[in-house]
Amino acid sequence: MNQSTFAKGLEGVVAAESEICQIDGQDGRLYYRGISIDDLAVHSSFEETAYLLLYEKLPTAAELSRFTEQMRSQRSIPSPVRTMIRDFPENGSPMELLQSVISYLSGSQEHTIQHSATCNCRNTLHQIAQIATVLATYQRFREGQPYVEPRTDLSHGANFLYMLRGEEPDEFEGRVMDTCLVLHAEHGFCASTFTARVVASTYSTCYCSISAAIGALYGFLHGGANEPALTMVEEIGSKENVAPWLDRALAEKQKIMGMGHRVYKAKDPRAVIIEKHLHDLSELKGDFHLYEILKELENQFRERMQEAGKPLYPNVDFFSGAVYSLLGIPKDLFTPIFAVARTAGWLAHVLEQRKDNRLYRPKCLYVGSQPVQYVPIDNR
Give a yes or no: residue 362 inside a domain.
no
User: Do 113 and 181 belong together in one domain?
Assistant: yes
- Give yes or no: residues 172 and 245 share one domain: no
Residues 47 and 123 in one domain: yes
Residue 253 has pLDDT above 60, yes or no: yes
Selection from 346, 350, 348, 344 nearest residue 50 by Cα? 344
What CATH number does residue 308 fall under? 1.10.230.10
Give the number of domains in the chain: 2
Measured CA to CA, the distance from residue 222 to residue 217 in angstroms comes to 6
Q: Which domain holds residue 279?
A: 226-326
Q: What is the pLDDT of residues 22-39, one digit of tens each?
A: 999 999 999 999 999 999
**Catalytic residue list contains 38:** no
Question: For residue 370, is it within any domain?
Answer: no
Do 216 and 338 belong together in one domain? Answer: yes
CATH number at residue 78: 1.10.580.10
- What is the mean pLDDT of the segment spanning 98-109? 83
State how far the alpha carbon of 284 is from the alpha carbons of 123, 279, 320, in Å. Answer: 39, 9, 17
Res 122 pLDDT > 80: no
- Please check whether residues 27 and 89 belong to one and the same domain: yes
61, pLDDT greater than 60: yes
Burial 64-75 (b: 16+ CB within 10 A, else e): beebbebbbebb
Residue 7 within a domain: no
- For the CA atoms of 227, 231, 236, 239, the dihedral, rounded to the nearest 10 degrees, stands at 50
Query: Active-site residue 378, yes or no?
Result: no
Residue 6, in any domain of the structure: no
Identity of the amino acid at 246: L
Query: In the 8-state DSSP scheme, what is residue 34?
Result: T
pLDDT at 266 over 60: yes
Exactly one of 261, 268, 277, 349 is catalytic; which is it? 261
User: Looking at the domain assignment, is residue 374 inside a domain?
Assistant: no
Res 50: pLDDT: 97
Q: What is the pLDDT of residue 2?
A: 52
The amino acid occupying position 113 is I
Residue 294 lies in a domain: yes
pLDDT grade, residue 310 (50/70/90)?
confident
**Band of pLDDT at residue 244, cut at 50, 70 and 90:** very high
**Shared domain check, 296 and 234:** yes
Predicted pLDDT of residue 217: 94
Within this chain, do residues 217 and 297 fall inside the same structural domain, yes or no?
A: no
Helix (H) or strand (E) holding 31: strand 29-32
- Please check whether residues 293 and 322 belong to one and the same domain: yes
Residue 364 inside a domain? The answer is no
Residues in the chain: 380
Asked if residue 192 and residue 174 are part of one domain, the reply reads yes
Average pLDDT over residues 149-164: 98
Which of 184, 187, 317, 349 is labelled catalytic?
Answer: 317
Is the domain of 177 the same as that of 156?
yes
| Residue 125: inside a domain | yes
Can you give the pLDDT at residue 306?
A: 84
The dihedral built from the CA positions of residue 31, 296, 178 and 220, taken in this order, carries a sign that is positive
Are 211 and 248 members of one domain?
no
H-state helical runs in the chain: 37-43, 46-55, 61-73, 79-86, 94-108, 121-124, 126-142, 156-165, 171-183, 191-200, 206-218, 226-236, 242-251, 269-285, 289-307, 316-326, 334-355
155 with 234, same domain? no
